[in-house]
Every structure is written in C-alpha cells, then in structure tokens.
Amino acid sequence: MVSYKELGLVNTREMFAKAIKGGYAIPAFNFNNMEQLQAIIKAASEEKSPVILQVSKGARNYANATLLRYMAQGAVAYAKELGWEHPQIVLHLDHGDSFELCKSCIDSGFSSVMIDGSHLPYEENVALTKKVVDYAHQFDVTVEGELGVLAGVEDEVSSDHHTYTDPEEVIDFATRTGCDSLAISIGTSHGAYKFTPEQCTRNAEGRLVPPPLAFEVLDAVMEKLPGFPIVLHGSSSVPQEYVDIINKYGGKLPDAIGIPEEELRKAAKSSVCKINIDSDSRLAMTAAVREVFATKPGEFDPRKYLGPARDEMEKLYKHKIVNVLGSNGKAE
C-alpha cells in the first residue's frame, strides 16, 4: 500500500471547495507519456494553478502502473524545482470501470479515483459507487461518480448516444453513495468527433457550429445539490488550427469539432469545478509532430519532434488555465 501523501500529492476535496467559491474550474488534463506530463507540470507551475493529472485505464496500462507512481512523485519534485513551493497536484483515475481497478489505483498512490457506473442500471451504479467510496475514504482518497451517459469514443470509453443526467436522481445518488463529486451529462462528448454534421450548423466560413450545452440541466442539478462539486467530461474544444495543421500535413480529420470555449468558461463560473481535457492535447501534439515530419523529412531524433510537441502542449495548457478555466494564481 502506497499513500498518495508519501508522493506529495493532494486529493480534490479542498481544491473543489475553493473552486466553487471562487467561480473557476480545476483543469483535469489526461496524460499518457513523459512529454505530456512535463508540459502539464510546467504550465501549472508557471501559472500557479491547481491541477489534476488524469490517467485512464488504458493510459495506466500503457505507462505501467509502477512507473506511473514514480512519474507522479517526480512531477511534484519537478514543480518544486520550477519554483512552485506548495504544489497542488492530484493523480486521478479517469473512468474506472470496476472496484478492482479503483482499489489497485488507490493502493498504488492515486489520490482520487472515478468509478463510472453510468452504463449500469441505476441501483447497480449506486451500489458500485458506494463500494468504491467506502474503500477510498478509509485512505482519504476522493471519489467521483457519474450519472448520465456521454456519447463519443476515448480509450475504452465508448457510447453511440448520450443521455442527459436526470436532476431528480442526483440527491439520492450523492446521499446514498457518499461520492465527493459528480460527473454529469449536459451535451459534452468524448473524442474529437463530438457531434455529427447533421447535429450542427455552419458559420460563414463553413465551420461546423455545435449545438449548445444543456445549461438548464446543469442549473437543475445545482438547484438540487447546491454547492456540490460537478464535473464535465468530454470538454475538449478541438482547436481548428490544430485540425488544419494535421490535415495540411497528411492527416484526415474531417468535421472534427469540440465544445466552444465560451460555454466552458460559463460552466466554470458555476458549481462545475473540474473540467476534463484530453483530445485537445492529443491534437496539439499530433499537429506539431506532423509538421516536423513534413517540413524536416530527414529528422529522426525523437527529441527534435517530441520537443516541439511538448512546447505546443504547454502553450495549450496555459491557455486553458488562464483563458478558459480561470484557475491561474489559485495555488500560490
């Protein structure tokens, strides 16, 4: 058993309480490799933003659970080297799909886990979430549950439809499970293809414009659970400049579209205190790598194409922290 406190990590409890009072959201950036982690820590350290290092089941398998633990510990040390005296860094399991996986993560140093039982019948979701909460809280690990189904594909998470969260269920779910935060469905979606062209309109430049988020569902949830930490998954904005670069240099991402950043800014000022971002980082990295390969075809040193990718991701993370989530300066 490895306690996250030994690694210098924190859980999300105090972090979320401050975010709700302050009208901002904590960035939850997914990562799979060293370059992504370096970029996240550098951006958060320079902007003094609390940050959630988010790892999916697939990413944990890819990185190796043991190496991941030391990467998290190293991330805290790196943040201090960069001048962040008291780093506020969470290591969080994204979309845990079983009690066994959540337990394994808790036992190996995660400070927060998500148990996603949203695909299960309601009572089974309640029972599974409560089981994880009961175990996690013994070690002061925070737990995120989910109500509602998000469409899209990302790692092992896949659904061809979305189901909005039922506000009538949230009080019962939060009370019976004891979860610390709740992911809800209001129209966000996983991946770079969040909406079909048929669901969208087109602007004067011919760009797809997605349907608006269901803020009425969010408002109803907040009315039922005032001050309770709410989480938005599938909240990448799919920056068109990255899509254009990828397509320019041989990629094929037709009609990729995300959530408008102004809608995320609006959500961040409410009880939404954690916003998940994954695809945007992937796009930034891929765009930078493709550009190097296309413009410098003789290059084969990984540092020469992963270095620019890391720099581009850092720029993206800073933009999200400062201009979208408003979490800069909240972890001095």
Q: What amino acid positions are annotated as catalytic residues?
A: 94
Instruction: Judge whether 51 and 40 are in contact, CB under 8 Å.
Output: yes
Q: Which residues contact 316 (CB under 8 A, 6 or more apart)?
A: 239, 280, 281, 284
- Angle at which helix 279-295 crosses helix 34-47, to 10 degrees, equals 110
DSSP state of 157: E
- How many contiguous H segments (helices) and E segments (strands) does the chain have? 12, 13
| Residue burial 135-157, b: 16+ Cβ < 10 Å; e: rest | bbeeeebbbbbbbbbbbbebbeb
Q: Which of 259, 270, 234, 4 is nearest to 113 (CA)?
A: 4
Give which of 220, 332, 241 is closest to 283, Cα–Cα: 241
For residue 99, which phi and psi values (nearest 5 degrees)?
Answer: -60, -40
